[in-house]
A = this chain, B = another copy of it.
């Protein structure tokens, strides 16, 4: 018996698996009616704790195209949740006998990971707060694959709100993983956050370089652009100069809307948001660039370029169906998995003390009854760890060892020897003391205030 596969994060899939999904999606797209019995008898449950008609309908359409059935809860908040049921319990019921695969949309970050822990059937993350939305990312990558024939080495402009857009962060990680270069053209004040840059650097070896985007024309006029590339610095130095690496020819422009629902109203977009217009698309560097957008758009893409052959955003949305068909078919075991899954990262329980995840909308806080906080170790020195649910970096000032009952500063070299499952995180000395931990050395009678 094989373990149940979920799709909580795009990291749950290896690059080889993703390429296989693309090939499968190609087959479904070229013959949309040819697989109308593939998932006959299977049922997908759409559990949407916040509305997202587009995501929901595309999954339901995908399942119907595969011959399966759909049970749909578009407005979960008005239902069981009112009676106080935990997400874990709902998942155990729906993922017990009602459905053969679950698509979950939930405002709490990490909720899909939690659901996967409790479900007897595959869980697909249809968006967990501002955390992940892997099928959107797969759809975006798949569009590059179809339109460009490859992803590696492409130059992709990410434009607009790069600060709050979950979609853009996920896409950036995925581009880096596939070896594409990223040109960040942020709306002023909505630059790519440092923690995203940090992860791109640490996990994918991406180097940020100042970019000269004059060739992008009006689109990038006032932008502090950054070029992110997985290439080696010595290669890069061949073609960069004091003004930064010069953006010449772009393969794709990925435009995003302002995520107004995720920021305070006063944090406004003063003089207007970036806008892709006929004029901006006339730049020579964009001559062959496809224009992508995860939709819904508001005014950031003028409707005058809807009919421009480079505008693929509606095709992009349409391709969400075959790629989701590929995902459903694979997770329900209706197509084979010749490629191995990536190893799952080790997760450790936060066995002692308070939950050090600083994210109030993390499921480890919102579903306390059924969640034991967990972390993954990101760095040993200085010691750094991330929440296993929402991926946010844990917040602590001291680290203890549950075996010695000593605590240390995070950059202490002594922490290197502590077993990960013995790690305890403290906000301050008082918290450590309250749990009976002492500063290192104090056990030998040396340290006292």
Contact = CB atoms under 8 A, between A and B. Distances in A.
Contacts of A93: 54, 295, 314, 317-318
A434 to B, nearest CB: 24
A53 B74 contact: no
A240 to B, nearest CB: 39
Contact of A80 (B40, B54, B73): B54
Interface in A43-99: 43, 45, 51-54, 56-58, 60-61, 64-65, 69-76, 78-80, 82-85, 88-90, 92-94, 96-99
Interface stretch (A129-137, A273-281, A296-304, A346-354): A296-304
B54 A96 contact: no
A69 B53 CA distance: 17
B89 A297 contact: yes
A111 to B, nearest CB: 16
A387 interface: no
B295 A89 contact: yes
A36 interface: yes
Interface residues of A, number: 60
A326 interface: no
Contacts of A69: 64, 70
A45 B54 CA distance: 12
B51 A79 contact: yes
A232 interface: no
Contact of A53 (B80, B296, B318, B321): B80
A299 B238 CA distance: 64
Contacts of A96: 314-315, 317-318
Contacts of A261: 83
A436 interface: no
Instruction: For the complex of A and B, list the 4 residue pairs with the smallest distance between their C-beta atoms, beginning with the closest.
Output: A85-B296, A97-B318, A64-B69, A51-B79
Interface of A: 33, 36, 40-41, 43, 45, 51-54, 56-58, 60-61, 64-65, 69-76, 78-80, 82-85, 88-90, 92-94, 96-99, 257, 261, 295-299, 303, 314-315, 317-322, 369-370
